[in-house]
Amino acid sequence: MGQTVAEQILSHRAGKTVKAGDFVVVEPDVVMSHDSLTPGIIKILRQELGMEKVRHPERLVFVLDHVAPASTVGTADLQNQVRRFAQEQDVRLFDVGRGICHQVLVEEKIAAPGKIVIGSDSHSTGYGSVGAFGTGMGSTDIALIWATGRTWLRVPETYRVIVEGRFPPGVDAKDLALKLCREITIDGANYMAVEYHGLDWMPLENRQTLASMAVEMGGKAGIVPPFGVAAEHFSTPEWLSIDPGAQYARTLTVDISSLEPQVSKPHAVDHVVDLSDVAGTHVDVVFIGTCTNGRYEDMKAAAGLLAGKRIAKNVRLIVTPASSRELARAAADGTLTALLEAGATLTTPGCGMCMGRHQGTLGEEDVCLSTANRNFKGRMGSPNAQIYLASPAVAAATALTGAITDPRGC
């Protein structure tokens, strides 16, 4: 019988053929944790499991990105604890300023096709952008992997998304990701892997946008099969393929050739409408960043609209590059200058204000349009703040006017 990509990867690592619904115990290839949770995982390892050493330090990766650099004495002390632990145990650590975990692991090719990457973070689905099985788990599960090298999983059913056509001008992968949340809804892919077909033409950064948002539909993984134009980034194992005989629990076909810019309204990711429904809504803060849309191409799309202009008087435009490498690319070709001259505030590569902890936390009355992946109440600061989600182009057009604006008219 044919296999989905998730079944192929889990079978390969389990050393036997498994199918949706089976339970497997596997050794993950990579175990990522970030500054926000690593201190707690260390505590579980030591206090609950009574262990001092991690089993396979070479499989672990720490990234300090969630509060970067530290904002309080408490976070500074905990980060130092993580640095010490990494040194003691010989674990790779990417320190503050290097970037968001999901971006860094892709850039460093630590996440790679056919690998199982478990992260202490729900957006670990993003590793599916390179054809890995990426999924998020809680701290206790991660501590158990540190201790044993293994974890157990239920092999997910797969939700196949077939994409037809190409984006019209002014519309991009974020609009597609939001459109999928709109169609599939916030739990429509709960417990499933989402497998995206028809995207051989799609560049890596767009695949990252899509895969990171698979979890917003409940997805356990979001996998773009690692073939096509992005192939330069991958070395795909020969056992991995799109199997014509695979069984999919559900299939959705989307034609993107007439897709309109999409906007998600407060306070749930699947409250998605065509931009025209909310055009003109007043906005105070525009945020360009996160593992979903903080890359060079995102900054470039924004700079294309902002170059030579100034943002509206009462708008704060905060740009947080997803990584130091993406920031360097933006600095090298004038993209960054265009953003800064237009009035943008630049912050350290990392998660920035995505979780409302620093670098732009929203107040009571703030209305924010963000390129992030989540707009839950209170996510970015005050529970009374309003968060809209959209593409980088919509973000830039909105920064120019101070109201939600269609980039195609700019």
Partner 1 sequence: MSTVWKFGADVDTDQIVPGRYAPYMRPDADVGEAAFIEARPEFAKNAQAGDVIVALENFGCGSSREYAVEALRRRKVGAIIALSFARIFYRNALNLGIPLFESPEIVAALQDGDEVTLDIPNQRVRLGEKSYLLPELPVFAREILEAGGIVPYVRMHGRFPEEE
Beta carbon nearer to partner 1, 89 or 361: 361
Residues 6+ apart with CB under 8 A from 406: 170, 261, 275, 276, 279, 394, 397
DSSP codes of every residue in 232-287: GG----TT----TT---SEEEEEE-TTPPPEEEPTB-TT-EEEHHHHTT-B-SEEE
Residues 6+ apart with CB under 8 A from 199: 163, 207, 210, 224, 228
Q: How far is the CB of 209 from ligand SF4 (least distance, A)?
A: 11
Q: Which two structure tokens, joined as six digits, stand for 36?
A: 């926000």
- Residue 373 interacting entry, from partner 1, ligand SF4, none, C-beta within 5 to 8 Å by type: ligand SF4
Q: How far is the CB of 54 from ligand SF4 (least distance, A)?
A: 22
Interface stretch with partner 1, choices 57-65, 120-128, 157-165, 243-251 (CB under 8 A): 120-128
Site string for partner 1, 6-25 (x = CB under 8 A): -----------------x-x
Q: For residues 215 and 270, is the Cβ–Cβ distance under 8 A?
A: no
Interface stretch with partner 1, choices 84-92, 95-103, 182-190, 303-311 (CB under 8 A): 182-190
Site string for ligand SF4, 80-119 (x = CB under 6 A): --------------------x-x-----------------
Residue where the block lists tokens 């001008």: 169
Q: Which two structure tokens, joined as six digits, stand for 283?
A: 């906005």
Distance of alpha carbon 328 from alpha carbon 20, whole angstroms: 42
The count of chain residues that interact with partner 1, using the rule CB under 8 A, is 51
Q: Is 266 in the site for partner 1 (CB under 8 A)?
A: no
Q: How far is the CB of 119 from partner 1 (least distance, A)?
A: 8
User: Given candidates 115, 160, 300, 379, which one binds partner 1 under the rule CB under 8 A?
Assistant: 379
Q: How far is the CB of 167 from partner 1 (least distance, A)?
A: 28
Q: How far is the CB of 282 from partner 1 (least distance, A)?
A: 24
- The one-letter code for the residue type at 41 is I
Q: 115-118 long-range contacts, Cβ below 8 Å, gap at least 24?
A: 115/9, 115/29, 115/30, 116/9, 116/10, 116/13, 116/26, 116/27, 116/28, 116/29, 116/30, 117/28, 117/29, 117/30, 117/31, 117/32, 118/28, 118/30, 118/31, 118/32, 118/142, 118/145, 118/151
Roughly what angle, to the nearest 10 degrees, separates helices 204-212 and 173-184?
A: 30
User: Given candidates 122, 158, 212, 290, which one binds partner 1 under the rule CB under 8 A?
Assistant: 122
Q: Based on DSSP, count helices (H) and strands (E) in the chain, helices before strands.
A: 13, 18
Q: For residues 100 and 322, is the Cβ–Cβ distance under 8 A?
A: yes
Distance of alpha carbon 126 from alpha carbon 55, whole angstroms: 25
User: Given candidates 75, 206, 290, 371, which one binds ligand SF4 under the rule CB under 6 A?
Assistant: 290
Beta carbon nearer to ligand SF4, 135 or 290: 290
User: Given candidates 10, 20, 29, 35, which one binds partner 1 under the rule CB under 8 A?
Assistant: 35
Tell me which residues in 347-406 interact with ligand SF4 (CB under 6 A).
Answer: 351, 354-355, 372-373
Q: Is 138 in the site for partner 1 (CB under 8 A)?
A: yes
Site string for ligand SF4, 116-155 (x = CB under 6 A): -----x-x--------------------------------
The count of chain residues that interact with ligand SF4, using the rule CB under 6 A, is 12
Apex 288 CA angle, 284 and 291, nearest 5:
135
How far, CA to CA in Å, does 409 sit from each of 355, 397, 404?
A: 31, 9, 12
Q: Which residues bind ligand SF4 (CB under 6 A)?
A: 66, 100, 102, 121, 123, 290-291, 351, 354-355, 372-373
Q: Which residues bind partner 1 (CB under 8 A)?
A: 23, 25, 35-37, 39-40, 44, 48-49, 66-67, 72, 74-75, 77-78, 119-122, 124, 136-141, 144, 148, 150-152, 186-187, 190-191, 218, 220, 268, 355-357, 361, 374, 376-379, 381, 383
